[in-house]
Amino acid sequence: MTQEQFEEGVLYAEDNFRNDNAPHLAIDKKLIREKFDLNGKKILDFGCGMGGMSLWYADNWDCEVYGLDIDGHHIKISKTLQEKLGIKNVTFEKRNILDTPLSEDEKFDYVFLNDVAEHIQFPILERIFKQLSTCLAEGGRIFVTYPPWKSPYASHVTHVVKIPWCQYLPKKMIHNLIEKNNIQIVGEEESDLLEAYYGLNHLTHNKLIDVLKTSGLSPVYRKSHCILNRLPGLKNTNINFFPFDFLVTKEFLLLQNSNN
C-alpha cells in the first residue's frame, strides 16, 4: 500500500463515517437507525473494512464496538481514522476467526456484516456463520447487508466500466473491460478490481439461506431495497420477485439463534 493509497483510504473511510447519503450505505444507515437501539450494547462489526461504519456505530450510540477484519491495510486505516476522530469506544483488530476463534467470553448483542458476505466463498461463509452464532449474547441478532447478484451494481466494478448488470456480459468481455479500466485498491487480500470481481461469490437470498442451514441461525426480518421503492406507495414494499428482482440493489437480513 502506497502512501497515496493509504491517504485515499482514510478519506474514503471518513466519508463512510460522515456521509449518511453515501450511495452504498444510505439505506443501511437509515434501516439501522430505525430498527436498532444500540445504547448499552456490545457490537461486533465483522469484516469492518476501513472502519467507517464501526466508528459510526460508536459515535451515534453509547455502545462498545469491536471492529474485526482479516486485512491489515484496512485495520491500519481504521486505527488512523479512529485517532483522527478521537472516538474511544472502538477496538480494531486484524483477525481471522477461523484461525483464532471467538472465545466464550466474547459475546455480542449485535453482529453487523455490511457488504461483507458477498466477498466470502460459501464453504468459508458457512463456517463463519456457525461461529458467529455462538458469539451472540442472549437475544442477540446478526444483521447482514449485501448487493444481490442480480443487482445492477453487484459486480462492484460498475463505477469504472459504466455498465449496469455487467456481470451478465460474456466472461471474456467483462474481464477485458475490467482489465482496461483496472485500478489498484487498498487491501492486502484484494489489491485491484480484477481480484475483487473474481472474489465475489454471486450471493443471492436463496444461496444465503442455504449457507445458514447448518448455522443454527434463522431469519426474522428481510428487506429488499428495490429501485421501484422510489415510487409513491411502494416505499416499504418488498419487491423481490421475478423480473423485478433484477432491480433490487440491496438485501437486508436479520438473524437470530433458532432456539431463541
Q: What is the pLDDT of residues 57-116, one digit of tens each?
A: 999 999 999 999 999 999 999 999 999 999 999 999 999 999 999 888 889 999 999 999
**Which helix (H) or strand (E) is 68 found in, with range?**
strand 64-69
CA distances from 68 to 45, 54, 90, 116, 149 (A): 6, 9, 10, 12, 25
Distances (CA, A) of 121 to 40, 133, 258: 34, 18, 24
> Structure pTM?
0.94
Domains of the chain, by residue range, sit at: 3-152+201-257, 158-195
State the pLDDT at residue 186.
85
Cell of 84: 483522527
Closest CA to 75 of 60, 97, 58, 95: 95
pLDDT given for residue 24 in this prediction: 84
Average pLDDT over residues 168-174: 96
Instruction: List strands edge to edge, sheet with 108-114.
Output: 90-94, 64-69, 42-46, 108-114, 136-146, 248-257, 217-226
pLDDT-derived band at 55, boundaries 50, 70, 90: very high
What digits encode the pLDDT tens for the residues 3-25?
888 888 999 999 999 999 888 89
Residue with cell 429501485: 227
What is the rounded CA–CA span in Å between residue 62 and residue 82? Answer: 16
Cβ atoms of 89 and 65 closer than 8 Å: yes
How large is the average pLDDT for residues 143-156? 97
Check residue 4 and give its pLDDT: 85
Helix (H, G, I), strand (E, B) or coil at 108: strand
Q: Which three cell numbers stand for residue 214?
A: 447448518
3-state SS assignment for residue 200: coil
Q: φ and ψ at 220, to 5 degrees?
A: -120, -10
The pLDDT score that the predictor gives to residue 28 is 94
Lowest mean pLDDT: which of 9-18, 118-127, 158-167, 185-194? 185-194
Query: Is 80 exceeded by the pLDDT of residue 260?
Result: no
Q: Tell me the pLDDT tens digit for each residue of 199-240.
A: 999 999 999 999 999 999 999 999 999 999 999 889 889 999
Protein fold of 3-152+201-257: Rossmann fold (3.40.50)
Reported as half-sphere exposure (CB side, CA atoms, 13 A), residue 12 has a value of 15
**What's the pLDDT at 49?**
94
